[in-house]
Chain A
Amino acid sequence: MPHLHDIIYLLPEIILLLGALSLLMIGAFMRGEKIAPLAGGGGVKTTMKDEATIAVAANRKNWLLAGGAMLVIALALMASLPQTVPDGNEILSGMLRIDRFGHAVKIFILIGTGFSLLVGWRWLMRAKAAMFELPVLMLFAVIGMTQMVAANNLIVLFLGLELQNLALYVLASSQRESRRSSEAGLKYFVLGALSSGLLLYGMSLLYGFTGALNYDAIANNIATQNGGVMPYGILIGMIFIITGIGFKISAVPFHMWTPDVYEGAPTPITNFFAVVPKLAGFAVIMRLLVEVFGEFHVEAGQILVVLSMASMVVGSLAAINQRSIKRLMAYSAISHVGYGLIGLAGNNADAYAATLVYLGIYVPMTLGTFGCILAMTRGGKPLDELSDLAGLAKYHPWLAAALAVFMFSMAGIPPLAGFFAKFYIFRSAIDNNLIALAVVGVLSSVVSAYYYCRIIKLIYFDPPQAKGALDPLPREVAWVIGLTAMVILWFVLWPNGYIDWVRHAATDLWKGSE
């Protein structure tokens, strides 16, 4: 057993996997589903009392599973916090790379998943969309993502990606009675499969022209081949790979699925989509750009500049006329992806650190905003029209204040955390002489400030709707909103620990490639 000592570095993944499998077993064999009427073949009439007991049992089971999933995530998080790194950073014969960068992204992913589950579960229960499979699927998606982030081999990367994707397709269509949810799942599946195909094609080109699958071997091969002259096959392969991942992070022009999927999927799942897969996608593209395509940074930079500009402009312009807050958040997410890509267009550790800082601040902002969207229910019915927010401040002053904080932060107004994310990213753009990108970036941030302010206008300036107050907030949603709002507000006072930690992660990624 040559790799036994490598197990220790896989502890988070192992916890996740064992947890997911045992939760799946518990879910499958624990009573609590509405199986009683079916067993009777329709002949036996269940009384109201039976129905009620079954519902309670189902309830309890669902809560148990979700709680179990959160526990598993918490354990995995604890296991990845020590950030132990092996010598040479590679384990399992160079299949996986364990470094501080991977750890940092993993921690973001775990935090994002845990909070999405926490904040959304009650909503799913109320909407009768909760199934015990959902937390388990989320765990599988997370396992896939942790593999993607740590992969040092194209096959491992693809396996992780597909594990993630399969889980996400099911999650998107999980609200079975809703046509829109099924539509979202199908759209996501078709376009996701297409993008996976593109990615795979790019990988095969890469393999064909270099004969290697491990990142460092490919990079070596590129560096030594033809005395430094690139075969076009590798370049085309890179373009296909960037395109494939561009789909996953919904960068323009590969963003078409995003608004529909965001709108159609159940809101807590949308929340999960908005936060977590983007992190993994960014981590993959960062690792590939540094460790595989280091030689191609000029060409990759051109592509990324175009993607970034297009995402920022389209994301901010298309959001202006949206009526559904979920669609608006989809376009807002697209524009944030554009800002994140600014950092990747710069070719050094500091620019990558800027992107990581941006993503890290994007997580609490998005979680908090979706917390507020999840709180928008009236009489148990979820709302997603923007006009439902009108006059929110009248009945829910704290919720309104928190949402205003998130919106101002997303617009990048100081002294909120979103400003520092944008400040860092624009700083990296200026330092790397990407002036045009920076100018487009700040101008589109003004455009996006318009629609963020429109939400603030709805909640503060407009008279309340006749339909009255929203339902009272579930306690855990209130806590998550409060926590994320505090993070956004207080970032200005204590930014150092976080920024330093992320910078170390980014420099570690760059050091590894040298």
Chain B
Amino acid sequence: MMFDGGLLSLITFLPLLGIAVILVAPLFLRADVKATAPASGDAHHAHQPNHAPHHVSWKSDFPRWVALITSGLVFLLSLLLWTGFDATLPGFQFEENHQWIQALGLRYHAGIDGISLFFVLLSTLLTPICILASWRSVTMRVRDYMIAFLLLEIMMVGMFAALNIVTFYVFFEGVLIPMFLIVGIWGGERRVYAAFKFFLYTLTGSVLMLLAILAMIHNAGTSDMVELLGYSFPVHWQYILWLAFFAAFAVKVPMWPFHTWLPDAHVEAPTAGSVILAGVLLKMGGYGFLRFSIPMFPIASAEFAPFIFTLSVVAIIYTSLVALAQKDMKKLIAYSSVAHMGFVTIGLFTLSSQGVQGAVLQMISHGLVSGALFLCVGVVYDRLHTREIARYGGIVKVMPKYAAIFMLFTFASIGLPLTSGFVGEILILVGAYQIHIILAALAALGVILGAAYALSLYRRVIFGKLDKADLQDLWDVSRREIALFVPLVILVLWMGIYPQSFLSPMQASIDKLVENYHVAIAQAEPADFIVQHQWAKWQQKPVLSQDPMVVAAASLSQSSLAPSNLSQSNLSQSNLSQSNLSPSPTRLPLSASIIAKPTDQD
């Protein structure tokens, strides 16, 4: 059965125990819960301010405590994954494989590699933070709220750890249930609209993925991801399957133009819902690209990479400009998320070690930073109940500590050196530069625009004249709120100052991913590249020069690969690809690899 497994199953399903305790407890605590019920039950829609007199009995806080303790325990257990993780192995670790549905050949198979490790950690870290963040701001139906978050944690961790494509889908889509309820029940004014939009957008994308999954099982005869990773799909299938998976992940990431659900969902979700949404749920899309699209359909990925780059660049520039025009704090951060995820998709499809590492790092960093920014918004929202930027100004005078915290995360969002945002962005830009200089330039434009909107948000909220009367009465962050930010601050700085401790566990897995990809591309027939074959014929431009810039320019049209061997692809591919791929300069420390890379190209 599913529960006799090891650590990973324990981490995944421990929240079930918390849910059971929360559900069963009222039977034993009935009298107390009833006595304090008005405190938690009746405040329909009225978010109680932080300083409101709240009840005394710990028993009315019971669901909160159970959820916090459970998710905290899960986080501590998940640290064991990090400490016990062997960074030298590229494959899956902590594997568990149990019988599930024999008739359909489905097994419960779970395990993590260097990539999923950090996503699991991100999920388990953000859940207790979310629960703590909603400690006082959620007063309505606390019990259901906590159950929803614990359920969400199961789904998130289960998804990142899934090694069976069907269990992956079960968790991937199972996320919809708690998230739909969280947005819909505890959200703002237009919560119903936002919840439906979120639900239906995501569902449409993922049912197409379901068909793709079924087609993959039909084709490969297995639903096990480890076996599927070793299976090479026929090329025409790769295109169809890639597009179906793209439908699911592009909505989830979200990529322009499938992003319109995100601002609505973010604005209407409660603070903690936004944190999870930005922190983990968006990463599911990027993780999906990394786990399915790239390794399983390498040729289609190479073919569609320019398409992804185009969408991403549009997303970065367009949504940054949109963010500049926002009047609502949450909406601004939501649009900035789309822009940041545009970086991620560029990084992923550069298919170079740096690009992919940068993308993964950027996802983790964005998970922490945007989560923290939503928490920052939540702090002032709890006090003033408005997210309108114009209603604030000059609050550095009354909330100095808050201003400092907000500043750090704003800088991290911009990607200032020594913060986590910098490392990911620079690696992605290095990867993008290898593809084409224009791609790197356009992406870099996004960094500038990012600075513009983030700093303008910060200036308008924190600085300026403190002339609004109700702002005078604001009080600085409480100890509980500081407790929320402390782990995030530490991690953001840690990732910025010494990224190696995050990069080294994922190094082996990413190198293997990139290497497998390039081997698959090198083995492919030139006729397999349908789109680019046509494109090259249309251009009638043989690429002969060995000048690195020309090679890079050609590679944009020929393939997303740096190696120049593709244009002359029939010639001795195997040894070329070997020589191009094996050196793996990224094993060097970060600074060295950045310097080393351009020379490595030719």
Q: Which residues of A contact B (CB under 8 A)?
A: 393, 397, 408, 413-415, 419-420, 423-424, 426-427, 430-431, 435, 438-439, 442-443, 445-446, 449-450, 453, 456-457, 460-461, 463, 492-493, 495-496, 499-500, 503
Whether A426 contacts B210 by the Cβ 8 Å rule is yes
Whether B204 contacts A446 by the Cβ 8 Å rule is yes
Whether A449 contacts B200 by the Cβ 8 Å rule is yes
- Which among B103, B184, B214, B215 has the greatest number of chain A C-beta atoms within 10 A? B103
Q: Does B170 contact A (CB under 8 A)?
A: yes
Assuming the A-B contacts A449-B203, A457-B195, are A442 and B103 also in contact, with contact meaning beta carbons closer than 8 angstroms in the complex?
Answer: no
Bound together, the chains give a CA A420 to CA B181 distance in angstroms of 22
Whether A413 contacts B174 by the Cβ 8 Å rule is yes
Chain A residues lying within 8 Å of B204, measured Cβ to Cβ, are 443, 446
Q: Does B61 contact A (CB under 8 A)?
A: no
Q: Does B180 contact A (CB under 8 A)?
A: yes
Q: Does B101 contact A (CB under 8 A)?
A: yes
Q: Does B185 contact A (CB under 8 A)?
A: yes
Chain B residues lying within 8 Å of A408, measured Cβ to Cβ, are 177
Nearest CB in chain B to that of A411: its residue: B203
**Which 8 residue pairs spanning A and B have beta carbons closest together?**
A442-B207, A414-B170, A430-B214, A499-B103, A461-B184, A414-B174, A446-B204, A415-B170
Assuming the A-B contacts A415-B174, A460-B181, are A424 and B207 also in contact, with contact meaning beta carbons closer than 8 angstroms in the complex?
Answer: no
Assuming the A-B contacts A442-B207, A442-B208, A460-B185, are A413 and B103 also in contact, with contact meaning beta carbons closer than 8 angstroms in the complex?
Answer: no
Nearest CB in chain A to that of B101: its residue: A495
Whether B210 contacts A423 by the Cβ 8 Å rule is yes
Chain B residue total in the interface (Cβ 8 A): 38
Whether A426 contacts B192 by the Cβ 8 Å rule is no
In the assembled complex, the CB of B357 is this many whole angstroms from the nearest CB of chain A, namely 32
Q: Does B252 contact A (CB under 8 A)?
A: no
Q: Which residues of B contact A (CB under 8 A)?
A: 1-2, 44, 100-104, 141, 144, 166, 169-171, 173-174, 176-177, 180-181, 184-185, 191-192, 195-196, 199-200, 203-204, 207-208, 210-211, 214-215, 217-218
Assuming the A-B contacts A413-B176, A430-B215, A457-B196, are A446 and B203 also in contact, with contact meaning beta carbons closer than 8 angstroms in the complex?
Answer: yes
Whether B211 contacts A426 by the Cβ 8 Å rule is yes
Assuming the A-B contacts A414-B173, A427-B217, A431-B218, are A493 and B199 also in contact, with contact meaning beta carbons closer than 8 angstroms in the complex?
Answer: no
One of A427, A435, A445 near B104 (C-beta < 8 A):
A427
Bound together, the chains give a CA A420 to CA B166 distance in angstroms of 10
Chain B residues lying within 8 Å of A438, measured Cβ to Cβ, are 211, 214
Whether A430 contacts B207 by the Cβ 8 Å rule is no
In the assembled complex, the CB of A96 is this many whole angstroms from the nearest CB of chain B, namely 29
Bound together, the chains give a CA A217 to CA B195 distance in angstroms of 58
Chain B residues lying within 8 Å of A415, measured Cβ to Cβ, are 170, 174
- Which among A415, A439, A499 has the greatest number of chain B C-beta atoms within 10 A? A415
Bound together, the chains give a CA A431 to CA B219 distance in angstroms of 9
Task: For the A-B complex with A446-B204, A493-B1 known, give 18 more contacts whose Cβ atoms are closer than 8 Å.
Answer: A393-B141, A413-B203, A414-B173, A420-B101, A427-B214, A427-B217, A427-B218, A442-B210, A443-B207, A446-B207, A457-B192, A460-B185, A461-B191, A463-B44, A496-B101, A496-B103, A499-B101, A499-B103
Question: Could you tell me the dominant secondary structure of chain B's interface residues?
Answer: helix
Chain A residues lying within 8 Å of B184, measured Cβ to Cβ, are 456-457, 460-461
Bound together, the chains give a CA A439 to CA B176 distance in angstroms of 21
One of A426, A435, A446, A492 near B170 (C-beta < 8 A):
A492
Chain A residues lying within 8 Å of B174, measured Cβ to Cβ, are 413-415
Whether A445 contacts B214 by the Cβ 8 Å rule is no
A–B complex contacts, Cβ < 8 Å, 5 sampled:
A427-B104, A430-B211, A453-B196, A460-B181, A496-B103
Bound together, the chains give a CA A427 to CA B173 distance in angstroms of 17
Chain B residues lying within 8 Å of A460, measured Cβ to Cβ, are 181, 184-185
Whether A424 contacts B181 by the Cβ 8 Å rule is no
Whether B166 contacts A423 by the Cβ 8 Å rule is yes
Whether A461 contacts B103 by the Cβ 8 Å rule is no
In the assembled complex, the CB of B331 is this many whole angstroms from the nearest CB of chain A, namely 21
Bound together, the chains give a CA A426 to CA B100 distance in angstroms of 19
In the assembled complex, the CB of B199 is this many whole angstroms from the nearest CB of chain A, namely 6
Chain A residues lying within 8 Å of B141, measured Cβ to Cβ, are 393
Bound together, the chains give a CA A233 to CA B261 distance in angstroms of 55
Whether A446 contacts B173 by the Cβ 8 Å rule is no
In the assembled complex, the CB of A495 is this many whole angstroms from the nearest CB of chain B, namely 5
Nearest CB in chain B to that of A401: its residue: B144
Bound together, the chains give a CA A453 to CA B196 distance in angstroms of 8
Chain A residues lying within 8 Å of B101, measured Cβ to Cβ, are 420, 495-496, 499
Chain A residues lying within 8 Å of B195, measured Cβ to Cβ, are 457, 461
Chain B residues lying within 8 Å of A426, measured Cβ to Cβ, are 210-211, 214
Chain A residues lying within 8 Å of B166, measured Cβ to Cβ, are 423
Chain A residues lying within 8 Å of B171, measured Cβ to Cβ, are 414
Bound together, the chains give a CA A283 to CA B588 distance in angstroms of 67
Nearest CB in chain A to that of B141: its residue: A393
Nearest CB in chain A to that of B216: its residue: A430
In the assembled complex, the CB of B595 is this many whole angstroms from the nearest CB of chain A, namely 48
Chain B residues lying within 8 Å of A435, measured Cβ to Cβ, are 211
Nearest CB in chain A to that of B196: its residue: A453
Chain A residues lying within 8 Å of B191, measured Cβ to Cβ, are 461
Chain A residues lying within 8 Å of B203, measured Cβ to Cβ, are 413, 446, 449
Chain B residues lying within 8 Å of A423, measured Cβ to Cβ, are 104, 166, 210, 214
Chain A residues lying within 8 Å of B177, measured Cβ to Cβ, are 408, 413
Chain A residues lying within 8 Å of B170, measured Cβ to Cβ, are 414-415, 419, 492
Whether B104 contacts A499 by the Cβ 8 Å rule is yes
In the assembled complex, the CB of B181 is this many whole angstroms from the nearest CB of chain A, namely 6
Bound together, the chains give a CA A12 to CA B1 distance in angstroms of 36
One of B104, B185, B200, B211 near A446 (C-beta < 8 A):
B200
Whether A424 contacts B104 by the Cβ 8 Å rule is yes
Whether B102 contacts A453 by the Cβ 8 Å rule is no
One of B2, B104, B185, B210 near A461 (C-beta < 8 A):
B185
In the assembled complex, the CB of B126 is this many whole angstroms from the nearest CB of chain A, namely 22
Whether A445 contacts B181 by the Cβ 8 Å rule is no
Bound together, the chains give a CA A439 to CA B1 distance in angstroms of 33
Whether A453 contacts B180 by the Cβ 8 Å rule is yes
Whether A450 contacts B196 by the Cβ 8 Å rule is yes
Bound together, the chains give a CA A461 to CA B268 distance in angstroms of 13
Chain A residues lying within 8 Å of B185, measured Cβ to Cβ, are 460-461
- Which among A397, A424, A431, A457 has the greatest number of chain B C-beta atoms within 10 A? A457
Bound together, the chains give a CA A513 to CA B210 distance in angstroms of 33
Chain B residues lying within 8 Å of A496, measured Cβ to Cβ, are 101-103
Whether A442 contacts B176 by the Cβ 8 Å rule is no
Nearest CB in chain B to that of A463: its residue: B44
Bound together, the chains give a CA A503 to CA B105 distance in angstroms of 14
Assuming the A-B contacts A414-B173, A431-B218, A453-B196, are A493 and B210 also in contact, with contact meaning beta carbons closer than 8 angstroms in the complex?
Answer: no
Chain B residues lying within 8 Å of A450, measured Cβ to Cβ, are 196, 200
Bound together, the chains give a CA A414 to CA B203 distance in angstroms of 11
Whether B104 contacts A453 by the Cβ 8 Å rule is no
Chain B residues lying within 8 Å of A493, measured Cβ to Cβ, are 1-2
Bound together, the chains give a CA A255 to CA B475 distance in angstroms of 64
Bound together, the chains give a CA A120 to CA B287 distance in angstroms of 49
In the assembled complex, the CB of B519 is this many whole angstroms from the nearest CB of chain A, namely 29
Nearest CB in chain B to that of A444: its residue: B207
Bound together, the chains give a CA A424 to CA B106 distance in angstroms of 12
Whether B214 contacts A503 by the Cβ 8 Å rule is no
In the assembled complex, the CB of A102 is this many whole angstroms from the nearest CB of chain B, namely 21
In the assembled complex, the CB of A391 is this many whole angstroms from the nearest CB of chain B, namely 10
Nearest CB in chain A to that of B204: its residue: A446
Chain A residues lying within 8 Å of B144, measured Cβ to Cβ, are 393, 397
Bound together, the chains give a CA A215 to CA B214 distance in angstroms of 35
Bound together, the chains give a CA A430 to CA B218 distance in angstroms of 7
Chain B residues lying within 8 Å of A457, measured Cβ to Cβ, are 184, 192, 195-196
Bound together, the chains give a CA A427 to CA B221 distance in angstroms of 12
Bound together, the chains give a CA A401 to CA B141 distance in angstroms of 13
Chain B residues lying within 8 Å of A453, measured Cβ to Cβ, are 180, 196, 199-200
In the assembled complex, the CB of B258 is this many whole angstroms from the nearest CB of chain A, namely 15
Whether B211 contacts A442 by the Cβ 8 Å rule is yes
Bound together, the chains give a CA A424 to CA B214 distance in angstroms of 9
Chain A residues lying within 8 Å of B2, measured Cβ to Cβ, are 493
In the assembled complex, the CB of B12 is this many whole angstroms from the nearest CB of chain A, namely 12
